[in-house]
Amino acid sequence: MKIRIGTRKSKLALWQANYIASKLKEHYPNIQVELIKITTKGDKILDVPLAKVGGKGLFVKEIEEALLRKEIDIAVHSLKDVPTYFPDGLGIVAVPEREDPRDAFLSVKYNSLEDMPAGAVLGTSSLRRKAQILTKRKDIQVKDLRGNVDTRIRKLEEGQYDGIILAYAGLKRLGLEGKVKQVFSPEEIIPAVAQGLLGIEARLDDKETVNIVSVLNHRESSIRAEAERSFLKTLEGGCQVPLGAYSTVEGDKLKIAGFVADLEGERFFKKSIQGDISSVKELGETLAKKLIDMGAGKILQEIYCKGD
């Protein structure tokens, strides 16, 4: 039995692919696993903000094409990078247990976002982070920051930025927690949809492979992923909009909080709802529709395809 895993070449992507390989070997000691490294468009375009070159999908398209050509058997993605629509015949077949979904602040000079003086430069490539930061600190400069985790940290340490914000999950996976000065609660900064989650994608008609990797699915993480991605799918118009969602499960109840903002963080709509886990897809949709009714719909219309 052999599984070929398609992965990006970044250190974090390779960690994630190797992690899934090790989990498969735990369940199937005789399995052979091969990593196939693939360069995506998102890895090539490093000098333009993600929102201007298409955002979601930039890190998965070439890998999905390799799946469809049967050059690989599964793909391991950061689920927050995966669009809510799949090419025919492909889909997420397992969601392993979620890593910490929070955002982290790194700085050489300052211990927290609050400590940064007026005019200081904060780096992030995320419209979601930018909008939420600007609601707290309109007096600092938020500048685009691209590149893999190591590149972003190097730019910080070279003094190009006074502080940067990265996903805590990636830092933990790479053993870089020691560089973190502050971790924001999901109430302070709502995470990206599916942040901290991995998604295993496969050909849906490849029943043997789907059956093999299904043992890695973590029920609660899968439920939370479905709720948050349903929220995203309801709001998506193919454009880049500052938004985020975060869900928690307690017993048979799921609570989901979400927001939509304009690009400057001036208009900011936030809400949370709770319901039964048997209808998580509908909960995500309902939250999105409530935000649209609150005023987010106008923002979506204004941003629609601007810079797409």
CA count, 13 A, side-chain hemisphere, 64: 21
DSSP per position, 265-285: SSSEEEEEEEEEGGGHHHHHH
**Residue ranges of E strands in 86-158:** 90-94, 103-106, 121-123, 141-143
Helices (H), the chain: 11-27, 41-44, 61-68, 127-136, 149-157, 168-173, 207-213, 219-235, 280-291, 297-303
**Radius of gyration for the chain, computed over Cα atoms and rounded to the nearest angstrom:** 19
Cβ 200 vs Cβ 75: under 8 Å: yes
- Residues with catalytic function: 81
Question: For 212, left (φ over 0), alpha (ψ -120 to 50), or beta?
Answer: alpha
